[in-house]
Amino acid sequence: MSWYFYRVIDAAGTVHAGTRAFADADPQSVRETLEKEYEEGAVLVLRAVPAALAQGAQWWQRLFVARLRDADLVVLLRDMAVLVKAGVPIIDAVRTLAEDEDSVGRACAVVANRLLVDLRAGATLGEAFDRQPGAFPEPVRNLVRLGDATGAMDRMLHEAADHVERLVSLKADSKQALIYPAFVFSAILGAAGFWLYYVVPNLTSLFKQFNVKLPALTVAVIATSGWLSANVGTALLIVALVVGTLVVAWTTSESFRRGVYRLLHVLPVSRKLLAAGGMAFFAEYFALLLRAGIDIVRALGVLENITRDLYYRDKLMIVRQYVERGERVSAAMRRVGGFPPLMLRVISVGEDSGSLDEQLHYLAGEYRTRLSRVVATLSEILKPVVIFIAGGLMALFVVALVLPIYDLIGQSMAVRR
């Protein structure tokens, strides 16, 4: 992938500028791609940009520029569908959304303004969506292009909004199981840090003052507290370096991400969660792409590109290669492995009956239900586990610190007698 900064003027005299990656590194090919994208356009400026600088600019834009969240995208698609169904011309519908920032939000208004520029230049709505791949996922763009071809734009926009809402529900279900333990573990670590940094040093001075003989566990806790108090800056630096290293490795190293995903697919709890979520995601997107008129090989390629789970991405790549050679999807998935028998059987039936998209739509609903059940079950299982860990940590502090205090009080009372 090569990054280029470009400035293009279209036939209407509107200048389009941006920075993005191109598969072909040849400047002439990039120039031809841009001229084809902006019909009858002329490239004014084309400069290669170092990949690190371009990615840094993208991160900056993600942090400080209004983003179109999934919830914003649903609002934009639904409002546009309502206006189109009411008989409002598409360009007027988009103009209405661009001018209604108070209702749709700033991010939606910004995206609608960009759409409006392209529509005024003569682009179809599908072409305008294609020019904003960061705002509109490929299945949504495919549905809008299908709406251009069939004239059923309102129905395609509604279906696209429904699809995004289902994906939002999938993501919410996947995260729900992790919120409670993450919150509790953060509270436990915070309480442990407070005890080690503030409470234990005060008790240590008391033990030293009375020259109390301490058990080995108490000595270990005091030693840990002493090191933390003396090296709190070093400890924070180590934590920051570890976290920073993991973040950099995750964002820059595909092999590291692949290893993490493979590990998660081996661990018992994460394996069930990723399998249910991955199959629901696969069936949902695959059905939508087929309904949008995309052929099976290209649909598998799209799925391969948009799947974040590299464990499944590698499998989809091999499945696509088998299908390109003429194999059926179900047979290719069976050869690759890693897909549940239920999915293989239902896809095989869909291929035999010519209703693959309907069968996949049914599978998506079934796996969404399974994901909800897995999340609910994991939540119930994790609650007692978290309570047990919290109780164990409190018991550790009680045994290590509170019991010696009771011994100290008993010795003081014996001396007085």
Averaged pLDDT, groups of 10, the chain, 417 residues long: 77 72 72 73 81 61 57 88 90 87 80 81 82 79 80 84 78 67 75 76 73 75 79 83 90 87 85 83 83 82 83 91 91 90 90 88 84 77 76 76 70 60
> Quick one: how far is CA 285 from the chain centroid?
15
User: What are the structural domains, with CATH classification, of the chain?
Assistant: 2-64 (no CATH), 70-166 (1.20.81.30), 170-417 (1.20.81.30)
Q: Which residues contact 123 (CB under 8 A, 6 or more apart)?
A: 39, 131
CA–CA separation, 398 vs 392, rounded Å?
A: 10
Reported in sequence order, the residue ranges of 271-364 that DSSP labels E, i.e. its strands, are none
Q: Where are the alpha helices (DSSP H) in 231-355?
A: 232-252, 254-264, 268-291, 296-306, 310-324, 329-336, 341-353
Sole residue written with tokens 């108070």: 102
Residue 396 has a CB neighbour count (10 Å cut-off) of 14
Q: Is the dihedral of CA 25, 54, 72, 273 positive or negative?
A: positive
- What is the predicted pLDDT for the residue at 58? 55
CA-CA distances (angstroms) from residue 55 to 21, 29, 52, 58? 10, 22, 5, 5
Question: What is the DSSP secondary structure assignment for residue 5, as one 8-state letter?
Answer: E
Helix (H, G, I), strand (E, B) or coil at 67: coil
**Residue 5 backbone dihedrals phi, psi, to 5 degrees:** -95, 135
DSSP-derived secondary structure letter, 143: H
Which residues, 6+ apart, have CB-to-CB distance to 13 below 8 Å? none
Q: Are 370 and 363 in contact (CB under 8 A)?
A: no
Short-list 119, 131, 114, CA closest to 90: 119
| CA neighbor of 402 nearest in space, from 213, 210, 228, 200 | 200
Four-point Cα dihedral 97, 103, 106, 108, nearest 10: -40
Helix (H) or strand (E) holding 368: helix 356-397
- Residue 414 in tokens: 């014996």
Write down the pLDDT at residue 321: 92
Using DSSP's 3-state secondary structure scheme, residue 21 falls into strand
| Residues paired with residue 7 on neighbouring β-strands, in sequence order | 17, 45
pLDDT of residue 194: 77
Q: In whole angstroms, what is the distance from residue 311 CA to residue 184 CA?
A: 29
**Helices 268-291 and 356-397 meet at what angle, rounded to 10?**
150
Q: How many CB atoms lie within 10 A of CB 40?
A: 12
